[in-house]
Amino acid sequence: MFNLPLHPAAVHLPLALAMLVPPLALGILLAIRAGKVPRSSWLLVVALQAVLVGGALVALRTGESEEERIEDRVAEARLEAHESAAQQFTVVAVFTLALAGATLVAGRIRPRAGAVAAAATLAMSLVVAGLAFRTGHRGGELVYGPGGISETGLAGANGADEEEGSTAAKDDDDEDEQRAEEADRDDDGDRDRSLARIGPGRHERDRDCTHEDEDDGDDD
């Protein structure tokens, strides 16, 4: 369970917020101009954009750390395109957060400047949404596109299992061969020890027989 990749789970929050912030910012901006809500309501846009940036940074970090797990299963060009899109998305999201914060500050000092900053924030939030869509689309191609992980992952897993099985079988054969060699060495050692024990006794018997023959010759 704890070996599961974190990146697929981390990407959903920033992508969802990227689609949520533009209509929310537009609604709050129109409500402020109509005098229905206070200017401080824009703080909600700033807060959500800050969470978006945090989620984007986490997603980018987990994607980079888990890249090695899939780089041998997908085309390198696709992987680099997804990573580049994610980096652009994160950079523009950070810039949009800065604009949203500037809108909150400028609106208290110069309302006209605050309105311009709010309009710029709204425009940049739309750019962020577009980049989020492109990043998510390229990530989906890595998984579900032709030659993606959903196709190569099973084949890679089967290949790994076959290789592991082959290695285990080879190790078993090596162990059997080693045990056979040790058994042969033990048999040779037993045989040598037996011959060593038998050798002196046979030599004594041969010498006794030789003496008996000599004694018989002398008697004759």
Res 110: pLDDT: 82
Rounded Cα distance, 45 and 24, in Å: 7
Compare 208 and 108 and report the one with higher pLDDT: 108
In a domain, residue 27? The reply is: yes
- Structural domain boundaries enclosing 17: 7-147
Q: Helices in 66-148 by DSSP H: which ranges?
A: 76-109, 111-144
pLDDT tens-digit readout, 4-53 = 567 877 888 999 999 999 999 999 999 998 989 998 899 999 999 999 99
pLDDT (average), residues 167-173: 60
* Share of residues in the chain with pLDDT > 70 (%): 60
Mean pLDDT taken over the chain? 76
The confidence band for 160, taking pLDDT boundaries of 50, 70 and 90, is very low
In a domain, residue 208? The reply is: no
In a domain, residue 196? The reply is: no
Q: Model-level pTM?
A: 0.64
In a domain, residue 84? The reply is: yes
In a domain, residue 50? The reply is: yes
Q: Is 220 exposed, middle or buried (0-12, 13-18, 19+ CB in 10 A)?
A: exposed
pLDDT (average), residues 86-92: 94
In a domain, residue 204? The reply is: no
In a domain, residue 78? The reply is: yes
Rounded Cα distance, 134 and 140, in Å: 10
The separation between CA 62 and the C-alpha centre of its own chain, rounded to angstroms, equals 9
Q: How far is CA 194 from CA 39, 182, 183, 189, in A?
A: 105, 18, 16, 9
| Number of separate domains in the chain | 1
